Amino acid sequence: MLSAFDNAMTLVEGTAKLLKFSEKYPTHKIVERLRIPDKIIMFRSTLQKDDGRMAVYSSFRVQHSDVLGPYKGGTRFDERVDLDEVKALALWMTLKTALVNIPFGGAKGGISVDPKKLSETELERLVRKYTSRLVSDIGPSVDIPAPDMGTGAREMAWIYDEYRKHREVAKGVVTGKPVEIGGSLGRLAATGKGVVCTMLEAVRELGMEDYTVAVQGFGNVGSHAALDLWKRGVSIVAVGDVTGNIHNPEGLDIEELITYCKKKGGVKGFPGSTPLKNIISCQCDVLLPCAMENVIRGRNARHIKAKLVVEGANGPTTPNADSILEERGVTVVPDILANAGGVIVSYYEWVQNREGFYWEEADVEERLFKLLRKTYARVSDYANTNQVSLRTAAYSLALGKIAKAMVARGIQ
Ligand code: GLU
């Protein structure tokens, strides 16, 4: 069984070695402080189902590091959620916020539950239970949850509302809220559009023209990325989700596909498409893994046809697969850069909540793309100068900043 956290730490350790942390900071134990999260909160959430029966779920919030600011990170509802995964996702948040220079640390939360099996009233009760157990650990300047897989604006509204019952009215306690209660314009599509923004930078650098794209995962990230690309006239030849993979070498109509998914619950059977067995290794020039961890592994990395992989999901590529892709000359835009659009606009939402002044959508997007392009350029320059992959460059920049902040804050 692959441990997402071990995979992430392998990269952290490798990069720390390259950066000679043990010589530079002999007394600060930088890597050790990243291996053990600041705080792990693990508890049982009980729920009374609509029929009166009781259900019990493992629930988590991992506060990984607040060395750069309040803890920040999403809340995942998925049956596969476990402590190892939440720890990995929290560590990636620490690295992501450091890389894009926003004043937050890293955290992640989740419940091991399939939200599709619950009614809306059951879900609301569960979110409120979860929040009430966390009221002493979250807050607008302590730890700020957000959406992730299986949660969205609706769940964030319940978190906000439950928190205010126990503590104070604090819009900035959670981001990704509905716009009506203090959410930011542009937050919903931010992760997907950010994936496209960094992808276009890579496409430009590689001098790719007339390329085709395959999108694995058609949730909030994958569908918004695909829609943005389709509107730009880019040909999306394959899309996959939990119901299956679909293919059309002439390009899929993404607007119609989104309408179809709303009706049918998934991409399977979309008119004009043919089923596809394997989307990771399908014929395309750019692959966007936008679903979850460890989908690109040793065994399929060798068969990938794409020249460019842009990681919309967190941790989709195992370290082993990463080496294979590097060896084969496939460019990978790493997750902590490619999918940072979500947390960047979460930061803008938090700022707007503090100011009580709300920005136009165009302003949000302009700032988002400017920051992502600037970060891409920093990562790409570092990679070229030091002859390393974009992932090693991104990890180096993030870890360099984290280490300096740890040293600045002292040992006591
Ligand atoms: N869950 C998203 C991520 O993995 C967003 C986190 C946030 O907005 O705080 O980056």
> Ligand 1: which of 151, 343, 347, 368 to mutate, judged by most atoms within 8 Å of the beta carbon?
343
pLDDT digits (tens, 9 = 90+) for 64-116: 999 999 999 999 999 999 999 999 999 999 999 999 999 999 999 999 999 99
> Does residue 123 contact residue 159 with C-beta atoms inside 8 Å?
no
Arithmetic mean of pLDDT, 4-15: 95
Q: Is 108 a catalytic residue?
A: yes
pLDDT score, position 21: 97
> Does residue 76 contact residue 86 with C-beta atoms inside 8 Å?
yes
For ligand 1, the distance from its centroid to the CA atom of residue 342, given in whole angstroms, is: 5
Lookup: tokens for 277: 């067995």
pLDDT digits (tens, 9 = 90+) for 205-219: 999 999 999 999 999
Among the options 72, 87, 96, 108, which is catalytic? 108
Q: Which atom of ligand 1 is nearest to the CA of 144?
A: 9
Arithmetic mean of pLDDT, 16-40: 96
Sorted by sequence, the CB contacts under 8 Å of residue 376 that are 6+ apart come out as 197, 198, 201, 202, 333, 337
> How much of the chain exceeds pLDDT 70, in percent?
100
Superfamily of segment(s) 37-181: Leucine Dehydrogenase, chain A, domain 1 (3.40.50.10860)
> Does residue 94 contact residue 65 with C-beta atoms inside 8 Å?
yes
* 1: pLDDT strictly greater than 70: no
pLDDT score, position 364: 98
Q: Whose CA is nearest to atom 9 of ligand 1?
A: 73
Q: Which atom of ligand 1 is nearest to the CA of 72?
A: 9
pLDDT score, position 407: 96
Distance CA 6, CA 16 (A): 15
Q: How many CB atoms lie within 10 A of CB 168?
A: 10
Distance CA 107, CA 309 (A): 26
> Ligand 1: which of 148, 188, 293, 351 to mutate, judged by most atoms within 8 Å of the beta carbon?
148
At how many degrees (to 10) do helices 120-134 and 153-166 cross? 50
> Ligand 1: which of 93, 156, 348 to mutate, judged by most atoms within 8 Å of the beta carbon?
93
Supply the DSSP string of 348-388, one letter for each residue.
Answer: HHHHHHHHT----HHHHHHHHHHHHHHHHHHHHHHHHHHT-
pLDDT score, position 179: 98
For ligand 1, the distance from its centroid to the CA atom of residue 328, given in whole angstroms, is: 31
Sorted by sequence, the CB contacts under 8 Å of residue 304 that are 6+ apart come out as 280, 281, 287, 296, 325, 328, 330
Arithmetic mean of pLDDT, 119-126: 98
* 412: pLDDT strictly greater than 80: no
* 359: pLDDT strictly greater than 90: yes
Residues with C-beta less than 6 Å from any ligand 1 atom: 72-74, 146, 148, 175-176, 314, 339, 342-343, 346
Task: Count Cα neighbours of 135 within 13 Å in the Cβ-side half-sphere.
Answer: 16
Q: Which atom of ligand 1 is nearest to the CA of 76?
A: 1
pLDDT score, position 318: 95
Q: Whose CA is nearest to atom 7 of ligand 1?
A: 343
* 411: pLDDT strictly greater than 90: no
State the residue for tokens 């590689």: 206
Q: Quick one: pLDDT band at residue 2, thresholds 50, 70, 90?
A: confident
Q: Which atom of ligand 1 is nearest to the CA of 149?
A: 1
Arithmetic mean of pLDDT, 164-177: 96
Helical segments of 280-360, H only? 298-301, 319-327, 335-338, 341-355
Arithmetic mean of pLDDT, 353-375: 98
For ligand 1, the distance from its centroid to the CA atom of residue 255, given in whole angstroms, is: 25
* 119: pLDDT strictly greater than 80: yes
Q: Whose CA is nearest to atom 8 of ligand 1?
A: 343
CATH of the domain spanning 190-333: 3.40.50.720
Q: Which residues pair with 111 in a beta bridge?
A: 59, 77
* 296: pLDDT strictly greater than 80: yes
CB burial of 239-256 (b: ≥16 within 10 Å; e: otherwise) equals bbbeebbbbbeeebbbee
For ligand 1, the distance from its centroid to the CA atom of residue 210, given in whole angstroms, is: 31
| DSSP 3-state of 93 | helix
> Does residue 275 contact residue 281 with C-beta atoms inside 8 Å?
no
Domain with CATH 3.40.50.10860 in the chain: 37-181
For ligand 1, the distance from its centroid to the CA atom of residue 166, given in whole angstroms, is: 24
Arithmetic mean of pLDDT, 24-52: 96
State the residue for tokens 């392009």: 373
For ligand 1, the distance from its centroid to the CA atom of residue 240, given in whole angstroms, is: 22
The whole-model pTM stands at 0.97
Q: Which atom of ligand 1 is nearest to the CA of 148?
A: 1
For ligand 1, the distance from its centroid to the CA atom of residue 343, given in whole angstroms, is: 5
State the residue for tokens 């990978």: 332
